[in-house]
Amino acid sequence: MRLAAKIVGFVVVTAVSAVTLLPMGPSHAASGEEVIKARVDFMKDEMNGHWKPLAAYAKSGKGSLADVEENAMAIVKLAKEIPAHFPKDTGRGNYPDKMTRALPVIWTDWDGFKKDVQEMVDGSEKLARLAKEGDKDGVVALIGASGSSSKTKIGCAGCHKTFRGEKVK
């Protein structure tokens, strides 16, 4: 009888724990609003946080080539995470334009979106290499070329021109 009571107790405790903890586990999917907020924060705080020192270096020489290398490598790492921040149906058309600037073309041209992200990765790797080699002129030129039609994009303009809508107030 004691063994049966222990088994029943274990099953009850396990079932209650599973039901209670289930929403907090990996099966808990974030709402679209949460995904969008996390994406905006990621782009604004993390990506832009590493872009600003690069722009400052190119414009006014603020910082060092070591800073450029460090921030460029951070962008490489973060850029690889960008597609994960864009799950299907988390853009305009599904959510208000004031909430997100992500255009539906992201998901209808997913390969093009990933290609632009890869260009940012490749360009940022090249920038880090130039900084490590001490090529100040090359670094400044590459930062200045970001957003142009250059194959060595490191800024955000490559994706933003095609995949981001106008800001709505």
Domain co-membership, 84 together with 141: yes
Instruction: Give domain status of residue 169, yes or no.
Output: no
Pair (72, 102) in one structural domain: yes
- Counting runs of H as helices and runs of E as strands, what totals does the chain give? 8, 0
78 inside domain: yes
Per-residue pLDDT, 7: 54
Regarding whether 63 and 35 lie in a shared domain, the answer is: yes
Cα–Cα dist 166/127, whole Å: 29
Per-position DSSP letters for 32-99, written without gaps between them? HHHHHHHHHHIIIIIIHHHHHHHHHHHHH--S-HHHHHHHHHHHHHHHTTGGGG--TT-SBTTB-TTT
Tell me the CATH number at 67.
1.20.120.10
Whether 100 and 91 have beta carbons less than 8 Å apart is answered as yes
Q: Indicate whether 88 and 106 sit together in one domain.
A: yes
Q: By residue range, what is the domain housing residue 139?
A: 31-163
1 lies in the same domain as 70: no
Instruction: Identify the bridge partners of residue 164 per DSSP, sorted by sequence position.
Output: 102
Exposed, middle or buried: residue 145 (CB in 10 Å: 0-12, 13-18, 19+)? middle
Q: Tell me if 57 is assigned to some domain.
A: yes
User: What tens digit of pLDDT does each residue of 70-108 get?
Assistant: 999 999 999 999 999 999 999 999 999 999 999 999 999
- Predicted pLDDT of residue 132: 98
Longest dimension (CA), the chain: 82
**Of 152, 143, 146, nearest to 54 (Cα)?**
143
**Sorting pLDDT into bands at 50, 70 and 90, what band is 156?**
confident
Does residue 20 have a pLDDT over 80? no
Residue 74's CB is within 10 A of a number of other CB atoms, namely 18
DSSP-derived 3-state class of residue 102: strand
Same domain, 13 and 37: no
pLDDT score of 24 more than 80: no
Q: Residues 67, 43: one domain?
A: yes
Inform me whether the pLDDT recorded for 6 exceeds 70.
Answer: no
CA nearest to 128, candidates 57, 62, 67: 67
Share of the chain above pLDDT 70, in %: 78
pTM of structure? 0.78
- 2 and 17 in a common domain: yes
User: Domains in the chain: how many in total?
Assistant: 2
**Cβ atoms 142, 154 nearer than 8 A:** yes
Low-confidence winner among 6-15, 48-57, 146-155, 156-165 (lowest mean pLDDT): 6-15
